[in-house]
């Protein structure tokens, strides 16, 4: 049971540090790193064993790539090919060469310089993807470009591992350090056979994933044992990683491929939710070990050199990324996200460093130094993301991820937001012959809607100049259908104040948002889920055996009562928000609803069942 103690230490550090870091706006990655620094160099609770744990935790990266693959349909990957090869390939090649040149300029031999360049050209897939996901930036152009580069780097690790030994001074064979992939079964086979086997394994993953895994998962799923499905999902990832190791390929690449193959299967979401917690924990563990592995003695021994190198490397990477970003037409906040986000070295750097050491490319001292540079640059990355989020993105707000479209027509209606809510409104309006101008800031969505044939414009609807260009000045009607609560209120407020003649219909998230929007000046406010929930409730009553028309009447009574309550509680809410008085009144209305809905009410000619009641027997006048 000796694993209990380290498990306790690592989990305690994570549980304490991560929520605090998150609350402080630092993100979970920095939280894990700080936790690692505290239990490692600062308190000295964990020491050398964290290196072993790190190798184990690197498996989290493999799982992450599997999950990334699950999200990526092959068609999407094919669409990314230009970015993958062009942007990613150029980033790796240019960065490696420039850093190598820098090393040589500093008087380091060309072999070590080139190895260093190659190692440092990689960025941290773990930190960047985790952070992008956490901040919801994966779908932005900046996020997608970052992902292309990271994916390309992960693929590039394979030839790097093949090339690094060629840089060795003498053909010394190091000992296998356990996670390098150079000692494969294929060693000693002729080159063409190696290539053949590698192609064969990849083909097996793709074909097997397509034709074997689905029936296998169907069989496993039919056992209805959740943990067995989880076990099967884990087994799949581990088996592929193992197979890839055997033939000397990157396990991350293999699981990524498997993920892509399974991305169109019906088990995609199940697999995702099964693997996700393991990935999260392992990655967290990995980050903790990075933090714990920082060698403070070396750091404080040569602070100038180490910090100088770290900043130098990050600056070079940043500049290259910035130039590439411009070449690939990133703009505004996305441009900065891309250039700042990928400026660090990555976890594969540790792997390659260990490999370079054992294959006698690099002596121990520079390897330890570089290892610290990699760790420090990773440690600084969350700070760069925070810089982007708090300083750069707000300034770029509005310009968003691309320039707003030039609006070449105006209509009598302006619709802000063309998500699930705005789409229906737009369709009902346009099919009835009304002209609308639609604004949205999700470029994917706009492309899709445009394909369907509706004219939509890219742009941030909260920007006054854009609203003006959309013709809000002449519009009779403004529909606020954004999916962001704050911005929704903000845009309603702006339109109501500047264009008092324009009628405003606004989408609300909940009851309190209704009041906010009414106070902001919306003429009509519609709760986005109210009618659909009510309808589901009605269907539930019917499913339970209630006569459909009776259920409809119940739903009508509910709606009527709810609107009455909504109006009645506004005064209390306006006065002091959701305070005691408001809550008391809410409870009163809830009780009233119970009375309205109750079965007894029906027997006393009360609200819901009122009507169609036969006159009582014995009234001579009837």
DSSP string of 123-150? --HHHHHHHHHHTT-TTSHHHHHHHHHH
Q: Which is nearer to other proteins, 4 or 621 (CB)?
A: 621
Applying CB under 8 A, among 75, 532, 533, 613 the residue interacting with other proteins is 613
Percent of residues in the chain assigned helix, strand, coil, to nearest 5: 70, 5, 25
* Rounded CA separation 392/39 (Å): 33
Name the minimum Å distance from CB 604 to other proteins: 12
Q: Is 611 in the site for other proteins (CB under 8 A)?
A: yes
Residue 319: count other Cβ atoms within 10 Å of its Cβ. 14
Residues within window 245-304 making contact with other proteins, judged by CB under 8 A: none
Name the minimum Å distance from CB 596 to other proteins: 14
Name the minimum Å distance from CB 560 to other proteins: 7
Joined tokens for residue 537: 């409730």
Are 596 and 589 in contact by the 8 Å Cβ rule? The answer is no
Q: Which is nearer to other proteins, 215 or 614 (CB)?
A: 614
SS3 529: coil
Q: Is 501 in the site for other proteins (CB under 8 A)?
A: no
Hey, which residues does 480 pair with through a beta bridge?
416, 506
* Site stretch for other proteins (CB under 8 A), options 44-52, 281-289, 484-492, 612-620: 612-620
Q: Which is nearer to other proteins, 544 or 620 (CB)?
A: 620
Q: Which is nearer to other proteins, 111 or 559 (CB)?
A: 559
Q: Which residues contact 406 (CB under 8 A, 6 or more apart)?
A: 469
Q: Which is nearer to other proteins, 144 or 553 (CB)?
A: 553
* Rounded CA separation 581/572 (Å): 7
Q: Per-residue x/- marks for other proteins, 517-556, CB under 8 A?
A: ---------------------------------------x
* Rounded CA separation 401/403 (Å): 7
Q: How many residues bind other proteins (CB under 8 A)?
A: 13
Q: Is 433 in the site for other proteins (CB under 8 A)?
A: no
Name the minimum Å distance from CB 483 to other proteins: 27
Q: Is 170 in the site for other proteins (CB under 8 A)?
A: no
Q: Is 622 in the site for other proteins (CB under 8 A)?
A: yes
* Rounded CA separation 55/285 (Å): 10
Name the minimum Å distance from CB 621 to other proteins: 6
* Rounded CA separation 545/551 (Å): 9
Environment class of 116 (CB within 10 Å of its CB; exposed 0-12, middle 13-18, buried 19+): buried
Q: Which is nearer to other proteins, 454 or 558 (CB)?
A: 558
Q: Is 621 in the site for other proteins (CB under 8 A)?
A: yes
* Site stretch for other proteins (CB under 8 A), options 22-30, 272-280, 358-366, 614-622: 614-622
Residues within window 549-608 making contact with other proteins, judged by CB under 8 A: 556, 560
Residues within window 187-216 making contact with other proteins, judged by CB under 8 A: none
Q: Which is nearer to other proteins, 78 or 549 (CB)?
A: 549
For 480, phi then psi, to 5°, come to: -95, 105
Q: Which residues contact 199 (CB under 8 A, 6 or more apart)?
A: none
Q: Which residues contact 273 (CB under 8 A, 6 or more apart)?
A: none
Name the minimum Å distance from CB 217 to other proteins: 46
Applying CB under 8 A, among 107, 136, 433, 615 the residue interacting with other proteins is 615
* Rounded CA separation 103/586 (Å): 70
Q: Is 620 in the site for other proteins (CB under 8 A)?
A: yes
Applying CB under 8 A, among 136, 433, 500, 616 the residue interacting with other proteins is 616
Name the minimum Å distance from CB 569 to other proteins: 21
Name the minimum Å distance from CB 511 to other proteins: 21
Joined tokens for residue 4: 């209990």
Are 411 and 474 in contact by the 8 Å Cβ rule? The answer is no
Q: Which is nearer to other proteins, 173 or 613 (CB)?
A: 613
* Rounded CA separation 505/501 (Å): 13
Identify the CA nearest to 290 among candidates 28, 35, 8, 16. 35
Interacting residues toward other proteins by CB under 8 A: 556, 560, 610-616, 619-622
């Amino acid at each position: 049971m000796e694993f209990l103690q380290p498990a306790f230490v690592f989990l305690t550090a994570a549980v304490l540090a991560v929520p605090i870091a998150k609350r402080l706006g630092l993100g979970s990655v920095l939280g894990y790193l700080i936790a690692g620094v505290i239990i490692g160099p600062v308190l000295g609770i964990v020491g050398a064993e964290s290196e072993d744990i790190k190798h184990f935790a690197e498996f989290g990266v493999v799982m992450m790539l599997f999950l990334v693959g699950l999200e990526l349909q092959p068609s999407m990957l094919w669409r990314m090919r230009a970015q993958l090869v062009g942007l990613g390939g150029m980033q790796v090649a240019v960065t490696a060469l420039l850093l190598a040149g820098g090393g040589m300029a500093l008087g380091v031999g060309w072999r070590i310089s080139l190895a260093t360049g190659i190692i440092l050209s990689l960025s941290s897939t773990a930190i960047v993807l985790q952070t992008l996901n956490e901040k919801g930036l994966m779908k932005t152009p900046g996020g997608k470009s970052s992902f292309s580069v990271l994916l390309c780097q992960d693929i590039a690790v394979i030839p790097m591992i093949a090339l690094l030994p060629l840089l060795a001074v003498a053909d010394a064979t190091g000992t296998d350090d356990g996670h390098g992939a150079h000692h494969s079964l294929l060693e000693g086979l002729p080159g063409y056979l190696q290539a053949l086997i590698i192609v064969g394994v990849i083909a097996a993953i793709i074909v097997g994933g397509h034709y074997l895994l689905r029936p296998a998962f169907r069989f496993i799923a039919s056992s209805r044992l959740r943990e067995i499905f989880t076990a099967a999902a884990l087994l799949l990832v581990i088996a592929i990683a193992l197979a890839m190791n055997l033939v000397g390929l990157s396990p991350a690449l293999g699981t990524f491929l498997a993920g892509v193959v399974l991305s169109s299967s019906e088990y995609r979401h199940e697999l995702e939710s099964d693997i996700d917690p393991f990935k999260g924990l392992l990655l967290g563990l990995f980050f903790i070990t990075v933090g714990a592995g920082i060698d403070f003695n070396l750091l404080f021994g040569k602070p100038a050199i180490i910090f100088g190198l770290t900043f130098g490397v990050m600056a070079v990477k940043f500049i290259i990324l910035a130039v590439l970003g411009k070449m690939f037409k990133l703009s505004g906040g996305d441009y900065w996200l891309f250039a700042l986000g990928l400026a660090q070295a990555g976890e594969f750097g540790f792997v390659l460093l260990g490999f370079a050491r054992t294959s006698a490319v690099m002596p121990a001292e520079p390897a330890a130094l570089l290892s610290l540079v990699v760790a420090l640059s990773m440690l600084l990355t969350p700070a760069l993301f925070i810089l982007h989020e708090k300083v750069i993105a707000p300034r770029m707000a509005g310009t968003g991820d691309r320039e707003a479209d030039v609006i070449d027509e105006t209509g009598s209606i302006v619709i802000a937001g063309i998500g699930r809510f705005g789409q229906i409104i737009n369709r009902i309006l346009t099919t009835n012959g009304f002209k609308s101008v639609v604004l949205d800031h999700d470029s994917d969505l706009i492309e899709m809607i445009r394909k369907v044939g509706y004219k939509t414009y890219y742009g941030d609807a909260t920007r006054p100049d854009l609203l003006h260009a959309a013709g809000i000045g002449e519009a009779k009607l403004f529909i606020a259908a954004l999916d962001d609560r704050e911005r929704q209120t903000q845009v309603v407020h702006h339109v109501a104040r500047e264009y008092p003649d324009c009628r405003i219909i606004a989408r609300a998230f909940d009851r309190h948002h209704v009041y906010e929007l009414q106070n902001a000046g919306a003429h009509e406010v519609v709760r986005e889920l109210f009618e659909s929930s009510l309808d589901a409730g009605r269907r539930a009553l019917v499913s339970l055996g209630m006569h459909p028309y009776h259920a409809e009447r119940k739903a009508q009574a509910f709606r009527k009562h709810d609107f009455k309550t909504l109006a009645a509680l506004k005064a209390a809410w306006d006065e002091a928000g959701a305070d005691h008085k408001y809550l008391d009144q809410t409870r009163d209305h809830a009780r009233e609803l119970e009375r309205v809905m109750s079965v007894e009410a029906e027997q006393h000619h009360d609200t819901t069942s009122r009507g169609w009641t036969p006159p009582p027997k014995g009234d001579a006048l009837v």
